[in-house]
Copies of this chain bind each other. A is one copy, B any other.
């Protein structure tokens, strides 16, 4: 299956150099290093070389060579995967195919509310290009300054805008893909409606590079919000969050741009660990929601909408207290309380992280049940629950008990994860809501995914990548 003899290795290397030139190859250890380790530092891999093609045509020739010579390929964008999806294995037989040089914004069509970009464009640069035409590209996430759009599509990225605009998958009109044998499928059409056969693009989106390489895409744009209002609200409990969200969707005409849940424990970690963090409310509460609504018009009406929503919710006992951001700085401060949770948690000792989802209506039930059961595995374990509750997506992280035995906590890590994922499975939830599978959750997927779904995935994989050269050992 793989080539081992030195002669063949040299032949392969020469062939790749002929295609991409000297600038397109990195093969010195120090220069290769950053491409071989994943974002979280869990995996340190090895590779024959880093190949950096400059065009779709070069990607095509590289894949043809790899397919013919059975050299496995690990596609990589901004290398920000949280599941090791873009990191090669330790054996060193793979190449890393970096898309960073495919970084052109090909065109913007404001009247079609569409933008065409290459896979290596950084997410923040897609947002900027859209803004220059008074449009919004709504995909937004922590790593947007580093992550690249090809990777965002390959992992079907989520983030904070999903509630209103959908996942990455929902923002794509067309894609260009190089298949494992080097043929190029040009599906770069900017159509809102096209019922001419199977929706091939949805197969490659979220496939984490196991079926081919996305080289370019046509993305949906939206009217740019002109006004934004943000509240930090204390709730009577997680179940109040669901009811408040449902009301907010109705009252604001579905203008809810973000709805993030934060429990007291993570907030306290932030207040304790992050310099300058300040509780916006006078008293302590068990549960908070960061609520943001946005509008394409700037006529002052939005603020009133948010205030009415909150006033009614206070009257009905859903909301205990709330602060509405009075300035851009205060809005930033609110968001900082949410976004620095992972950072704060690092200072609180060992932790185990879970990126799960359940139906929105069952998020409170999930949090209650999972909190109880985790406590019965490790008494005093601290529940750091927060996240995109508007999508049913909870980052249900566990920190070791304060002053506890770290080694003992670590020894129970697998039991904790099994406990949480079992609850998720019984609630028809997902063990990976937005981070994907990669290498990190592949065994977990095999454990929870129905056999028939795994079988379908394998059949599709074999049909499209018969030699199994695309990112082997990831996902399927």
Number of copies of this kind of chain in the complex = 2
Residues of B within 8 A of A445 (CB): 196-197
- Say whether A328 faces chain B, with CB atoms less than 8 Å apart: no
Cβ–Cβ contact A450 & B185, under 8 A: yes
A388 close to chain B: CB less than 8 A: yes
Interface flags, A388-416, vs B, CB<8A=1, else 0 = 10111100000000000000000000000
> Residues 254-297 of chain A: 1 if any B CB is under 8 Å from the residue's CB, otherwise 0?
11000000000000000000000000000000000000000111
Number of interface residues of A (CB under 8 A): 93
Return the CB mask of A154-191 against B: 1 if under 8 Å, else 0.
01101000110011011000000001000111111111
- Whether A296 lies near B196 (C-beta < 8 A) is no
A186-209 with Cβ < 8 A to chain B: 186-200, 202-203, 205-207
A127 shortest CB reach to chain B, Å:
18
What are 18 residue pairs bridging A and B, where the CB atoms are less than 8 Å apart in the complex? A166-B170, A169-B199, A189-B430, A191-B359, A191-B429, A192-B390, A192-B391, A194-B430, A195-B436, A196-B441, A196-B445, A197-B445, A197-B453, A197-B454, A202-B202, A223-B249, A253-B295, A459-B463
Q: How far is the CA of A41 from the CA of B77 in the complex (A)?
A: 52
Contact (Cβ within 8 A) A192 B360: yes
Query: If the complex has contacts A253-B255, A359-B112, are A158 and B193 also in contact, measured as CB distance less than 8 A?
Result: yes
Chain A residues 31 to 66 lying within 8 A of chain B, measured CB to CB, are none
Q: Chain B nearest CB: distance from A92 CB in Å?
A: 27
Q: Is there an interface contact between A109 and B223, defined as CB atoms closer than 8 Å?
A: no
Which A positions have Cβ atoms within 8 angstroms of B? 109-114, 155-156, 158, 162-163, 166-167, 169-170, 179, 183-200, 202-203, 205-207, 211, 222-223, 242-243, 246, 249-255, 295-297, 357-362, 388, 390-393, 428-437, 441, 445, 448-450, 452-454, 456-457, 459-460, 462-464, 475-476
Task: Tell whether, in the assembled complex, residue A253 and residue B457 are in contact, meaning their CB atoms are under 8 Å apart.
Answer: no
Q: Can you name the residue of chain B whose Cβ is closest to the Cβ of A253?
A: B296
Within the assembled complex, what's the spacing in Å between the Cα atoms of A158 and B191? 13
Do B456 and A195 touch (CB < 8 A)? no
- What is the minimal beta-carbon distance from A466 to any residue of chain B, in angstroms? 9
Contact of A392 (CB < 8 Å), options: B193, B197, B246, B463: B193
Give the distance in Å from the alpha carbon of A191 to the alpha carbon of B155 in the complex.
17
CA distance in complex: A158, B246 (Å):
27
Q: Are A457 and B207 interface neighbours, CB within 8 A? A: no
Complex formed: what's the CA distance from A430 to B249 in Å?
34
Which residues does chain B contribute within 8 Å of A158, judged by CB atoms?
Answer: 193, 195
Cβ of B459 and Cβ of A113 under 8 Å apart? no
